[in-house]
Amino acid sequence: MVQHHFQQHILSSATLCMSAQENAVSFQYFWQDVLQQRQLIAQHKERTWALWEANSYDFLVLLFAGLLAKKELLLPPNRVRALELELEQQQIYFLQRQPSSINTPRADLNTLQLDDDFLAQAQLYFYTSGSTGQPKKIPRTLQQLLFEVQGLAQAFPMLSNRIAISTVSHQHIYGLLFKLLWPLAAGHSFYLEQLAFPEDVVEVQKQLSVSHPIEFYVISSPALLKRWSSDVILNDATMLFSSGGRLDEGVRAVVNHTITEIFGSSETGGIAYRQEDHALWRPFADVQVRSEADGALAVKTQHAYQQDWILTGDQVLLQQIDQSQSPFQLMGRLDRIVKLEEKRLSLDQIEHEIGQLEAVTQSHVLLIQHGHRQILACVAVLSAQAKAELQQLGKASFVKQLKTSLGDHLEGIAIPRQWRFLSQLPMNSQAKLDKKLMQSLFSPMQIPVVLQQQRDAQTASYQLEFIAELKCFAGHFPNNPIYPGVGQIAFIHVLAQQTWADLNYCSAMEQMKFQQLIRPYTVAKLELSRKNDKISFRLTSDTEVLATGRLAFVIAQPDQDQEGVMHV
């Protein structure tokens, strides 16, 4: 096997990064950019920095420049004001491109040595929500990440002239490995932009095939693949990867390409893969697995954050108990066994029974605090017919019907007491179920549910759902609730501040138009675009424009320390 390495392509004139405008950046140019940024970053005294950068190329430059400058890097999944303030209290600031000048000396690429000593000490940390929704900081070295890249190259051998197209964020370990580090070590290219829809993937593939008649591979997630339709045809793809959660049954039958599922975690890295819905998971070549007494999966691999055995929260059934490379079947999460009123209940089993109802296409069951006791709650996605029935009967009568149907299959204590209905289960920025948001659905909510989001430097888009329980519906108006304009301004203000951390407060509203009523269960798309201190918005449903306007903000002034580092 060829041991792909970051050192191999430093002087290469081949293309590393390609953009929508078909601007190409070579490996050689990239590494020259890295060394220039390293010189500038090394001048700053701070040891630890946070790195969040929407542009994949700039992210990769700053990642290697920071590590070469002997900095530790934290990789959060987003950049919002609350996180900035939390990190500022620890004197940790977000790393940005440092301005260069014509006097900045050009570095000699022949002096760049990405040897084992550097790779082993180059430290970065991933933030992961984990099963509880509480963030965890997972340390990894570049050496460990390179080991994993080499394992991917062994499991999925490809020629060097491949373009990686991604629908997932590079801020998460899956996107970082598959979209950026694998091409960097193996001599592949990556397409700069993160794509949002299946149609985008196919359109980009068609455009690239005209000027670059080479194959590509797609890095995607269950959240996008389940939106694939049979008329979206993927051509010339070497591989189609999915990770970040379980792929729903039936998706493979719609997508006209073999889907390779990757199972792993931020702590362990990739563990195993499979290509059929009910196939056993096959461990990667450098991964050892075993089953503990309670059925918990334990993993040992050189690419994990530690070299000892790591206990996961997944229950498994090994095909061959005495083999450390045994294929296995996933039996569910151990942390989804809960105890309620002295009764042990499996949330996975409850979801399975709810999924057998004709009215429900998808569900997530969780334990919530209700007064002084805990109860079961359910977030459900309904069929089109059931949605119509919900609006006709009203929520109370509809939920009563669901509970009655479940009574034949679940004991009373296992039937969820509270319900919320969405058009799809909400995903976080890493295309995983947003468990924290689903918990919040059962508390008083001021703003619509964010089902999906995507952003770059000057624009952002959100798919929103106006659930019936939103506080703004109360009192506007009895028996015919609508979402008032003042409430729309309020949540647009909040989302704009979450998107751009330097927006302080709204100072003016311009050209406001509220063109259509918003009723419970409306699904809408919010598009934000920024020009200096002005944020324009456009709120639309599938068929009509709901509201448009512009908000003017006062911009927060950055602080500056003694060495001139800009602190946002």
Q: What is the DSSP string of 452-470?
A: EEEE-SSEEEEEEEE-TT-
Residues of the chain with CATH 3.30.300.30: 341-422
User: Could you tell me which residues come within 8 angstroms of residue 315 by beta carbon, excluding any fewer than 6 positions away?
Assistant: 294, 295, 296, 297, 330, 331, 332, 333, 334
Q: What is the pLDDT of residues 319-376, one digit of tens each?
A: 998 889 999 999 888 888 888 876 888 898 899 999 999 999 999 999 998 888 899 9
Is 70 exceeded by the pLDDT of residue 132?
A: no
Cα–Cα distance between 116 and 312 in angstroms, integer?
29
Q: Which fold has domain 341-422?
A: GMP Synthetase; Chain A, domain 3 (3.30.300)
Residues of the chain with CATH 3.40.50.12780: 15-266
Q: What is the pLDDT of residues 385-420, one digit of tens each?
A: 999 999 999 999 999 999 999 998 898 999 999 999
Specify the DSSP element, H or E, that contains 49.
Answer: strand 48-50
Instruction: State the alpha helices, DSSP H only, in 414-529.
Output: 435-440, 485-499
- What's residue 131's pLDDT? 45
Residue 256: half-sphere exposure toward Cβ, Cα within 13 Å: 11
E strands in 107-221: 123-128, 136-141, 163-166, 189-191, 216-220
Q: What is the pLDDT of residues 290-318, one digit of tens each?
A: 999 889 999 999 999 999 999 998 999 99
Query: Is residue 433 very low, low, confident or very high in pLDDT (cuts 50, 70, 90)?
Result: confident
Query: Is residue 249 very low, low, confident or very high in pLDDT (cuts 50, 70, 90)?
Result: confident
Cα–Cα distance between 168 and 177 in angstroms, integer?
11
3-state SS assignment for residue 435: helix
Query: Is residue 71 very low, low, confident or very high in pLDDT (cuts 50, 70, 90)?
Result: very high
| Residue 411 CB neighbour total at 10 angstroms | 10
- What's residue 484's pLDDT? 94
CB 465 within 8 Å of CB 449: yes
CB 171 within 8 Å of CB 76: yes
Is 80 exceeded by the pLDDT of residue 82?
A: no
Cα–Cα distance between 376 and 378 in angstroms, integer?
7
Q: What is the pLDDT of residues 34-53, one digit of tens each?
A: 999 999 999 999 999 999 99
3-state SS assignment for residue 485: helix
Residue 431 identity: A
- What's residue 564's pLDDT? 32
227-231: Cβ within 8 A, 24+ apart: 227/197, 227/198, 228/198, 228/254, 228/255, 229/198, 229/254, 230/254, 230/256
Residue 463: half-sphere exposure toward Cβ, Cα within 13 Å: 16
Q: Does domain 444-555 have CATH number 3.30.2130.30?
A: no
Is 90 exceeded by the pLDDT of residue 108?
A: no
Residues of the chain with CATH 3.10.129.10: 444-555
- What's residue 208's pLDDT? 85
Average pLDDT of every residue of the chain = 90
Is 90 exceeded by the pLDDT of residue 212?
A: no
3-state SS assignment for residue 66: helix
Return the residue matching tokens 């389940």.
Answer: 226
| Residue 248 CB neighbour total at 10 angstroms | 13
Q: What is the pLDDT of residues 549-559, one digit of tens each?
A: 999 999 987 55
CATH for 15-266?
A: 3.40.50.12780
CB 216 within 8 Å of CB 189: no
First to last CA, the chain: 46
Cα–Cα distance between 499 and 159 in angstroms, integer?
39
- What's residue 363's pLDDT? 95
Calculate what percentage of the chain has a pLDDT beyond 70: 95
Cα–Cα distance between 361 and 380 in angstroms, integer?
8
